[in-house]
């Protein structure tokens, strides 16, 4: 059978028909920055960090199927500048005060900031005042840090079968909501062992009494950039799928 | 060296931790003083910036009217204005008060606080009024560089200042960039 190939930054990358650009790139060890994508779940296409140029046109690598003859640009100064702008937008839209966040050092948004060379936030800050939900005995929600990736929504619906989370509102008012009459997490079937409690890439869903357990220097991104960490995780998931 | 770099520093809504981190360059301070001299700074007795300052290091965000005044003085006189630390960059921990109306903050501290006697919110005109929210400095003046970190490590200051002193475009290697 003739092997299928796309080209990413001039490098020939094989793919299986049906694979997305992201899946083909990951399998080949090429990191494409992403936040809402996690190969354990269906693609979402909201964060736009994985925007690449395919034959000159912008596309999300997590949702676009790989196809013969695609010339993909990924690691270019222009695309990385766009990713830096997107990361800044995510930072100013919430209250990402890393020095006081339990997720610091283990946070994918922060690590992407480091990866794309974000040294400042550039835009005016929104300083939203969203509610903290600490009603649940084991897990708390700080919605000021939520980036609306819907990984918890997907995990709770598709893996846990509990449908605890959803997005409500439109435009800038879009927010994560909890599916209970009171709107509080304590009034759902949510449990700390749920997949949805583990997938948040930022500090929006935090397991209580676990903060600052890992010493500085031993946190996920202290010595490894998100490209390395992400490829290792995503390749393991893809390998398990095909294995 | 005939013309030393003039470096001014200030702390706005800061904790002085960034200044302490600058001092953490330890004996390298002596090397720094070979090529640079301090202008207006908490480390000197100079009250206002000289007409022309090469580098202004700003720690802290903006929480009151005097902060804004000081920041504008620095921008006016500094060739290169540098936001130092998380507070200058995005307001930092002090910006957590942006959740709470200013009036409530003042009343909690000065009227209803534990052990408060003769309760009143200070209102002497000598005191700068608080801004209703804490802001990062780039929302008020143009900032040329930011050194992130809470605080940035001594090596960040050292790398930045030695790059500028050498006439190079300052650049931080990956390991020196952190927001916490």
Query: Helix-strand-coil percent breakdown of chain B, rounded to 5?
Result: 40, 20, 40
Pairwise CB contact (< 8 Å): A120 & B86: no
A47 in a domain, yes or no? Answer: yes
Pairwise CB contact (< 8 Å): A119 & B178: no
By C-alpha distance, the chain B residue nearest A110 is: B179
Cβ distance A16 to A49 under 8 Å? Answer: no
Residue A100 contacts B where some CB pair is shorter than 8 Å = yes
Q: A97: distance to nearest CA of chain B, Å?
A: 6
A26 in a domain, yes or no? Answer: yes
- Looking at residue A181, which CATH number applies to its domain? 3.30.70.20
Residue A132 contacts B where some CB pair is shorter than 8 Å = no
- What pLDDT does residue A243 have? 46
In chain B, what residues touch A97 (CB-CB under 8 Å)? Answer: 86, 90-93, 95-96
State the Cα–Cα distance between residues B114 and B121, nearest whole angstrom: 15
The residue of A105, A121, A212 whose CB has the most chain B CBs within 10 angstroms, and thus the best one to mutate to test that interface, is A121
- Residue from the list A97, A104, A120 with its beta carbon closest to the beta carbon of B96: A97
* Residue B78 confidence (pLDDT) above 80: yes
In chain A, what residues touch B101 (CB-CB under 8 Å)? Answer: none
A99 in a domain, yes or no? Answer: no
A243 in a domain, yes or no? Answer: no
Kind and range of the H or E run holding B7: strand B5-11
One DSSP character per residue, A194-210 reads SGGGT--SSSSEEETT-
Give the end of a domain, one of A41, A57, A76.
A76
Residue A80 contacts B where some CB pair is shorter than 8 Å = no
Give the end of a domain, one of A52, A76, A100.
A76
How far is CA A229 from its chain centroid?
Answer: 13
Query: Domain check: are A69 and A141 in the same one?
Result: no
A41 in a domain, yes or no? Answer: yes
Q: What is the per-residue pLDDT across B90-144, written as a single tens digit (0 to 9) for each?
A: 999 999 999 999 999 999 999 998 888 889 999 999 999 999 999 999 999 999 9
What is the reported pTM?
0.95
In chain A, what residues touch B58 (CB-CB under 8 Å)? Answer: none
- What pLDDT does residue A239 have? 85
Give the end of a domain, one of A34, A51, A76.
A76
By C-alpha distance, the chain B residue nearest A102 is: B180
Pairwise CB contact (< 8 Å): B91 & A120: no
- Residue from the list B96, B147, B177 with its beta carbon closest to the beta carbon of A100: B96
Other C-beta atoms lying within 10 Å of the C-beta of residue A97: 23
B55 phi and psi angles, rounded to 5 deg = -130, 130
The residue of A96, A97, A106 whose CB has the most chain B CBs within 10 angstroms, and thus the best one to mutate to test that interface, is A97
Local mean pLDDT, 10-residue blocks, chain A (243 residues): 88 96 97 97 96 97 96 97 98 97 98 97 96 96 97 98 97 96 98 97 97 96 96 92 57
Strand-strand pairing, A4-8 and A11-15: antiparallel
Cβ distance A101 to A56 under 8 Å? Answer: no
Pairwise CB contact (< 8 Å): A127 & B136: no
As a whole number, the mean pLDDT across chain B is 96
> Which of B136, B147, B150 shows the shortest CA–CA distance to A104?
B150
- What pLDDT does residue B138 have? 98
A117 in a domain, yes or no? Answer: no
- Residue from the list B89, B98, B150 with its beta carbon closest to the beta carbon of A127: B98
- What pLDDT does residue A168 have? 97
A35 in a domain, yes or no? Answer: yes
Domain that holds residue A24: 4-76
Pairwise CB contact (< 8 Å): A119 & B147: yes
Q: B148: distance to nearest CA of chain A, Å?
A: 6
Cβ distance A44 to A149 under 8 Å? Answer: yes
A233 in a domain, yes or no? Answer: no
Pairwise CB contact (< 8 Å): A95 & B98: yes
The number of distinct structural domains making up chain A is: 2
- Looking at residue A50, which CATH number applies to its domain? 3.10.20.740
State the Cα–Cα distance between residues A33 and B139, nearest whole angstrom: 28
* Residue B53 confidence (pLDDT) above 60: yes
């Amino acid at each position: 059978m003739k092997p299928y190939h796309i080209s990413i930054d001039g490098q020939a990358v094989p793919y299986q028909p049906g694979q997305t650009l992201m899946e083909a790139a990951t399998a080949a060890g090429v990191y494409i920055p992403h936040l809402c994508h996690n190969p354990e779940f269906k693609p979402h296409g909201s964060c736009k960090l994985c925007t690449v140029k395919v034959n000159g046109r912008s596309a999300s690598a997590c949702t676009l199927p790989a196809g013969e003859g695609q010339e993909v640009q990924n690691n270019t100064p222009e695309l990385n500048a766009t990713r830096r702008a997107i990361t800044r937008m995510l930072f100013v839209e919430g209250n990402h005060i890393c020095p006081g966040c339990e997720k610091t050092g283990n946070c994918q948004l922060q690590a992407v900031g480091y990866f794309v060379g974000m040294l400042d936030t550039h835009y005016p800050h929104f300083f939203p005042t969203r509610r903290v939900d600490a009603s649940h005995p084991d897990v708390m929600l700080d919605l000021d840090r939520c980036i609306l990736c819907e990984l918890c929504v997907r995990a709770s619906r598709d893996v846990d079968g509990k449908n605890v989370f959803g997005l409500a509102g439109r435009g800038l008012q879009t927010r994560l909501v909890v599916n209970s009459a009171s709107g509080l997490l304590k009034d759902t079937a949510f449990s700390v062992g749920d997949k949805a409690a583990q997938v948040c890439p930022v500090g929006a869903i935090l397991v209580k009494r676990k903060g600052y357990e890992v010493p500085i220097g031993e946190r996920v991104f202290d010595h490894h950039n998100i490209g390395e960490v992400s490829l290792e995780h995503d390749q393991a998931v893809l390998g398990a799928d095909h294995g | 060296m005939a013309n030393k770099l003039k470096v001014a520093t200030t702390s706005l809504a800061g904790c002085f931790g960034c200044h302490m981190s600058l001092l953490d360059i330890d004996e390298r301070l002596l090397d720094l003083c070979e090529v640079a001299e301090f202008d207006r700074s908490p480390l000197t007795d100079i009250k206002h910036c000289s007409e022309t300052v090469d580098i202004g290091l700003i720690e802290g965000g903006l929480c009151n009217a005097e902060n804004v005044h000081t920041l504008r003085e620095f921008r006016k006189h500094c060739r290169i204005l540098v936001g130092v630390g998380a507070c200058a960059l995005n307001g930092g921990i002090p910006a957590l008060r942006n959740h709470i109306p200013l009036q409530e903050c003042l009343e909690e501290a000065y009227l209803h606080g534990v052990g408060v006697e003769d309760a009143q919110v200070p209102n002497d005109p000598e005191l700068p009024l608080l801004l209703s929210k804490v802001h990062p400095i780039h929302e008020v003046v143009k900032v040329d560089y930011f050194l992130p970190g809470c605080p940035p490590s001594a090596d960040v200051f050292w790398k930045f200042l030695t790059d500028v002193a050498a006439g190079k475009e300052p650049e931080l290697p990956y390991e020196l960039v952190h927001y916490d």
